[in-house]
Amino acid sequence: MTKGSDTLAPAALLRQAQPCLWLNPQRQTALPTALPIAGGRIGLADTQAAAARLARFAPLLARLFPELEASGGVIESPLLPASGLPQTLGLAPGCLRIKADHLLPVAGSIKARGGMHEVLEFAESLALRHGLVTPQSGPDAYRALADPTARALFARYTVAVGSTGNLGLSIGVAASALGFRAVVHMSADAKEWKKERLRRRGVQVVEHVGDYEAAVAAGRAQAAGDPYSHFVDDERSLSLLLGYSAAALHLHGQLQQAGIAVDAAHPLFVYLPCGVGGAPAGITFGLRQVLGPHVHCFFAEPVQSPCFLLQMMAGQGAHPSVYDWGLSNRTEADGLAVPRASLPAAELMGPLLSGCFTVQDDDLFRQLVQVLDATGERIEPSAAAGLGGPAMLMESDAGRAWLAAQGLLAHLPQATHLVWTTGGLFVPDEEYQRFVQRGRSLAA
Ligand SMILES: *Cc1c(COP(=O)(O)O)cnc(C)c1O
């Protein structure tokens, strides 16, 4: 495993595309009940409202998606033990867990959370406006949104999105299942199988030669001014972010069930792969509200695409791009290949986030194989980004100094480390075998 050379400052390491750790000097321990974002404020009530919306729609989702029948329409992932991995990462046995969003049904990635929530919020606003449901409606009225009357209404509307792949998969599948016309603008780095999977579901895929930002801009422009088009804006959407944040409520229950306390003597470190920042920011927002100051969230980004780290270092008022730093934005972690961070997500993270670190692509493949060998779980390269987090934090000088300054060193033996694995369920076998081969040849 490569770690940041401790003799260089983060800025020098970033320019050289070397792994580095940045710690957030703005993080606050005590939080107000609502936090500023995009000119407004959000709090725990907004996360609870998103979770309640997902719950209202669960009966409909169970009807629309055969794979959700067993869970009654709940889209959630297990919290897995990761025995076998701790030795590899130099941790005490039992302290490492995997939050397995690579298993999330419907979309096969963390995007199932935010993407589904935003499509449902849009569908609900139409259904309310047309009297198909009311604020008092129960499960039957929501289940009836799969009937011809509702579908005819939804069919008049287009849901569009710009994506490197996984958000497109989530929005495309969710929107087309409800009966919307779905258009997905894909960047050049989107994988072919993701486009094919969408086309098979009747989703229109528009291919762009440019990067993620270009795909989002094209989609935003095409949808602008069309009252029958809803554009899911990955760089700005609050609905996406709040959909992601609902994960915190479910995880809280999973931690309790597993007997994992989170308090001053039992800190929880969470490592989240980060692209534009909406998913990890939503989850961090939720976790800080639900679990308090003793949860420490870290975002993991590819060394060529550290857009969120750059944004957090630059602060509000600036909007740096990885290209400005001489970086290429080229990475096998297609879900994280984003040149510029979401500004609302970065604003929200000011008082909440503990830090960011960067990862080399080779390490993603090594870690993907470690996960396979230790747990049998199949994850995609983007989803492996968090696995280097514990070592980055505990074995680098910067990490040790920060742990000492925070008074966390004494509590490390009782700490839990949670690695959020964010995608992989639908990766075709052939493609996955190539990932494994690459990881094994690197390890040899
Ligand atoms: C999109 C994605 C992320 C990060 O989400 P952002 O909202 O873009 O930060 C992480 N992992 C995978 C697999 C993804 O597809």
Q: Where are the domains of the chain?
A: 9-108+240-443, 111-236
Over residues 283-339, the pLDDT tens digits come to 999 999 999 999 999 999 999 999 999 999 999 999 999 999 999 999 999 999 999
Is the CB of residue 35 less than 8 Å from the CB of residue 285?
Answer: yes
Q: For 13, what's the count of Cα atoms within 13 Å in the CB-facing half-sphere?
A: 23
Rounded mean pLDDT of 235-243? 97
164 touches ligand 1 (CB under 6 Å): no
Q: Which helix (H) or strand (E) holds 234?
A: none
Gap between the Cα atoms of 390 and 59, Å rounded:
39
Site to probe by mutation for ligand 1, drawn from 211, 307, 322, 422 as the one with most ligand atoms within 8 Å of Cβ, is 422
Is the CB of residue 3 less than 8 Å from the CB of residue 328?
Answer: no
Distance of CA 401 to the CA centre of its chain: 28
Gap between the Cα atoms of 50 and 223, Å rounded:
25
Over residues 384-443, the pLDDT tens digits come to 999 999 999 999 999 999 999 999 999 999 999 999 999 999 999 999 999 999 999 998
Gap between the Cα atoms of 420 and 241, Å rounded:
16
Give the pLDDT score at 93. Answer: 74
Give the pLDDT score at 87. Answer: 66
Give the pLDDT score at 95. Answer: 92
Tell me the two tokens of residue 79.
């919290």
Site to probe by mutation for ligand 1, drawn from 77, 110, 212 as the one with most ligand atoms within 8 Å of Cβ, is 110
User: What separation in Å is there between the alpha carbon of 383 and the centre of ligand 1?
Assistant: 8
Q: What is the pTM of this model?
A: 0.96
Gap between the Cα atoms of 168 and 180, Å rounded:
14
47 touches ligand 1 (CB under 6 Å): no
Does residue 92 have a pLDDT over 80? no
Does residue 6 have a pLDDT over 70? no
Is the CB of residue 262 less than 8 Å from the CB of residue 289?
Answer: no
Residue nearest to atom 1 of ligand 1 (CA): 335
Rounded mean pLDDT of 242-250? 98
Over residues 48-90, the pLDDT tens digits come to 999 999 999 999 999 999 999 999 999 999 999 988 886 666 6
> Among 55-64, 128-137, 217-226, which stretch is predicted with the lowest mean pLDDT?
217-226
Residue type at 131 in one-letter notation: G
Residues 6+ apart with CB under 8 A from 202: 176, 182
Q: Same topology for domains 9-108+240-443 and 111-236, yes or no? A: yes
- Domain 9-108+240-443: CATH class, spelled out: alpha beta
Over residues 162-198, the pLDDT tens digits come to 988 899 999 999 999 999 999 999 988 788 898 999 9
278 touches ligand 1 (CB under 6 Å): yes
274 touches ligand 1 (CB under 6 Å): yes
Gap between the Cα atoms of 183 and 171, Å rounded:
9
Residue owning tokens 């700005």: 236
383 touches ligand 1 (CB under 6 Å): yes
Residue nearest to atom 2 of ligand 1 (CA): 335
> Among 92-96, 107-111, 168-172, 433-437, which stretch is predicted with the lowest mean pLDDT?
92-96
Residue owning tokens 């949860």: 295
Gap between the Cα atoms of 172 and 116, Å rounded:
10
Architecture label for domain 111-236: 3-Layer(aba) Sandwich (3.40)
Tell me the two tokens of residue 224.
């602008």
The burial class, CB within 10 Å (0-12 / 13-18 / 19+), for 104 is buried
How many residues does the structure list for the chain?
Answer: 444
422 touches ligand 1 (CB under 6 Å): yes
Site to probe by mutation for ligand 1, drawn from 274, 332, 356 as the one with most ligand atoms within 8 Å of Cβ, is 274
